[in-house]
């Protein structure tokens, strides 16, 4: 009986820990501002107020955004003062000078419009619930794929769900990064299971929600090309293009024509070059450097491009697969890690909640060591330290004990640490692949030599 109680104690403690984390997350969600979701909700809400058969105007122009903002302000005057919609309207109006800061894709506005109602508070609650479910599924898939034991998996759920600042930021503003995290996890898991077509579909839909996942798609295609895995390359690209085509069709149908997509594409340079200040939460490396140096952004981009060239050179030097033929397993995680890290470092716009997409790379660097993934001890220790550094920089404790400048600095250090860890893992895989090839070649030579001696 006593032995049974001892064995059950960790499970009871784990359940208590998860229960407390769930309640804390629920309490935090109830206090969320939901201002990003309000923007997602307000665009289709304003479009639905147009007269029937009216051509939807360019929602990415300042004039139309001010008209939508004025409509929402007028609507808020007729609501109770303590209404969540009134609060969100007032905050967004003050942040964006009375505009609705519409920067999303027509696809994401179409999805929100099709699934929402005139009740903002109820829709926001449903959105937060769906986001939490997506987060749990994504983290569960990643932990299972990486074969984390039960207790580390419980700790990961508690840490990322409650103490990881990017997730807290995503909950606070009601953005879609937890939804994208699920599409990224599906891409990784399906790729490891040898289903590149469906993996490409998942990644394509994630990129259609927000194009910040496109660097992952580019990295995945480069990895497949470097490995000369043309079957994986073709199927991943087919799934990716199919998902984007479906998303374009949904957005065009909702807005009445393909013009909305053209408006969105033309708005992207203005969005990225708008110059959201560091004080407002833009933690992009270019914005950070502009506060401490007069170097132009172009030089930053060139430096990052050199890093990409080094990464591709490392990949191209790989020969064969790793020792256990699990290249797809590693490539899927590394493509996600490299793509997200470069997106965060190269973009002029990187809100804190964007860093929620670094979770797969961090978990990969901290994965349990087994026969399939083990490197020499020193190599795995380097990756482990870089993963811990990244998570420490993005932890709630570290972010609370700093200023806006140091928060941005730590966020960029985290992205750089993850990028370095992924490149280090790629180099280690290349070295092991070379060792495997040399070992197999030497073995074949010995076998041929023995056969020749027996023949003589």
Q: What whole-number percentage of the chain has pLDDT above 90?
A: 52
* pLDDT on residue 176: 96
Element (H, E) at 70: helix 62-76
Of the two residues 311 and 24, the one the predictor is more confident about is 24
Ranking 125-129, 215-219, 262-266, 282-286 by mean pLDDT, the lowest is 282-286
Mean pLDDT across the stretch 151-155? 88
Mean pLDDT across the stretch 257-285? 84
* pLDDT on residue 327: 77
Residue 377 has pLDDT above 80, yes or no: no
pLDDT class of 291 with cuts at 50, 70, 90: confident
Mean pLDDT across the stretch 131-156? 93
Mean pLDDT across the stretch 439-456? 49
Report residue 302 CA to chain centroid gap.
24
* pLDDT on residue 436: 40
Residue 207 has pLDDT above 90, yes or no: yes
Ranking 57-66, 139-148, 254-263, 444-453 by mean pLDDT, the lowest is 444-453
d(CA 260, CA 245): 14
C-alpha triplet 24, 30, 33: angle, nearest 5°:
120
Q: What is the pLDDT of residues 74-120, one digit of tens each?
A: 999 999 988 999 999 999 999 889 999 999 999 999 999 999 999 99
Mean pLDDT across the stretch 261-281? 82
With contact defined as beta carbons under 8 Å apart, do 338 and 419 qualify? yes
* pLDDT on residue 449: 54
* pLDDT on residue 424: 85
DSSP reduced 3-state for 395 = strand
d(CA 111, CA 253): 11
Element (H, E) at 181: helix 177-192
d(CA 161, CA 369): 24
Mean pLDDT across the stretch 393-408? 84
Contacts 24+ apart (CB under 8 A), 191-197: 191/220, 191/232, 191/236, 191/328, 191/331, 191/332, 192/145, 192/328, 192/329, 192/332, 194/328, 196/224, 196/231, 196/232, 196/235, 196/236, 196/239, 197/235, 197/236, 197/238, 197/239
Residue 289's closest CA among 414, 375, 412? 412
* pLDDT on residue 300: 60
**What CA–CA distances, in Å, run from 251 to 58, 123, 266, 420?**
14, 20, 16, 37
Mean pLDDT across the stretch 166-186? 96
Cα pseudo-dihedral 171, 139, 104, 249, rounded to 10: -140
Of the two residues 6 and 202, the one the predictor is more confident about is 202
Number of other CB atoms surrounding residue 233 within 10 Å: 20
**What CA–CA distances, in Å, run from 150 to 214, 217, 262, 266, 374?**
33, 31, 48, 48, 20
pLDDT class of 297 with cuts at 50, 70, 90: low
Residue 364's closest CA among 143, 212, 162? 143
**What CA–CA distances, in Å, run from 230 to 202, 236, 237, 332, 335?**
19, 10, 10, 15, 16
pLDDT class of 273 with cuts at 50, 70, 90: low
Q: Which residues contact 441 (CB under 8 A, 6 or more apart)?
A: none
pLDDT class of 225 with cuts at 50, 70, 90: confident
d(CA 318, CA 1): 55
* pLDDT on residue 183: 97
Of the two residues 77 and 432, the one the predictor is more confident about is 77
SS3 percent helix, strand, coil of the chain, rounded to 5, is 75, 0, 20
Mean pLDDT across the stretch 223-234? 85
Q: What's the pTM?
A: 0.88
C-alpha triplet 155, 159, 165: angle, nearest 5°:
170
d(CA 25, CA 101): 28
Residue 374 has pLDDT above 60, yes or no: no
d(CA 235, CA 197): 5
d(CA 281, CA 172): 13
| Mean pLDDT computed over every residue of the chain | 84
Q: Where are the alpha helices (DSSP H) in 273-322?
A: 285-290, 297-316
Mean pLDDT across the stretch 222-231? 84
Q: Which residues contact 210 (CB under 8 A, 6 or more apart)?
A: 104, 105, 108, 176, 180
Hey, what are 423's tokens?
């490149």
Domain ranges of the chain: 16-126, 127-442
Mean pLDDT across the stretch 346-354? 88
The dihedral of CA 306, 307, 309, 310: what is its sign?
positive
């Amino acid at each position: 009986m006593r032995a049974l109680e001892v064995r059950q104690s960790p499970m009871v403690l784990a359940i208590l820990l998860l229960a407390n984390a769930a309640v804390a997350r629920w309490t935090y969600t109830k206090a969320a501002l939901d201002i990003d979701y309000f923007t997602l909700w307000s665009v289709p809400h304003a479009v639905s107020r147009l007269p029937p058969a009216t051509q939807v105007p360019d929602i990415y122009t300042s004039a139309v955004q001010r008209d939508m903002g004025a409509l929402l302000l007028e609507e808020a005057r007729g609501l109770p003062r303590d209404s969540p919609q009134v609060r969100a309207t007032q905050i967004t109006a003050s942040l964006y000078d009375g505009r609705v800061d519409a920067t999303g894709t027509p696809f994401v506005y179409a999805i929100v419009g099709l699934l929402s109602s005139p009740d903002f508070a109820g829709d926001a609650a449903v959105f937060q619930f769906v986001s939490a479910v997506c987060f749990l599924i994504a983290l569960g898939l990643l932990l299972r794929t990486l074969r984390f034991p039960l207790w580390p998996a419980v700790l990961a759920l508690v840490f990322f769900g409650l103490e990881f600042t990017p997730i807290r930021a995503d909950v606070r503003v009601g953005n879609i990064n937890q939804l994208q995290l699920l599409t990224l996890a599906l891409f990784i898991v399906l790729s490891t299971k040898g289903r590149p077509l469906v993996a490409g579909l998942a990644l394509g839909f994630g990129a259609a929600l927000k194009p910040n996942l496109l660097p992952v798609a580019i990295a995945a295609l480069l990895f497949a090309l470097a490995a000369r895995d043309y079957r994986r390359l073709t199927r991943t690209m087919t799934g990716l293009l199919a998902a984007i085509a479906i998303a374009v069709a949904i957005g065009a149908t909702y807005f009445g024509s393909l013009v909305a997509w053209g408006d969105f594409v033309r708005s992207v340079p203005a969005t990225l070059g708008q110059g959201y200040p560091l004080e407002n939460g833009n933690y992009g490396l270019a914005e950070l450097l502009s506060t401490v140096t007069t170097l132009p952004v172009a030089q930053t981009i060139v430096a990052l491009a050199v890093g990409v060239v080094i990464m591709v050179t490392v990949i191209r030097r790989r020969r064969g697969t790793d020792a256990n033929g699990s290249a797809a397993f590693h490539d899927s995680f590394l493509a996600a890690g490299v793509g997200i890290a470069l997106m965060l470092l190269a973009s002029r716009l990187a809100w804190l909640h964007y860093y929620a997409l670094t979770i797969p790379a961090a978990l990969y660097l901290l994965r349990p060591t087994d026969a399939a993934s083990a490197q020499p001890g020193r190599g795995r220790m380097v990756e482990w330290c870089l993963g811990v550094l990244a998570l420490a920089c993005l932890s709630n404790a570290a972010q609370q004990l700093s200023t806006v400048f140091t928060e941005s600095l730590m966020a960029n250090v985290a992205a750089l640490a993850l990028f370095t860890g992924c490149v280090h893992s790629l180099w280690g895989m290349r070295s092991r692949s070379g060792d495997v090839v040399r070992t197999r070649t030497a073995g074949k030579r010995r076998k041929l030599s023995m056969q020749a001696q027996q023949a003589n």
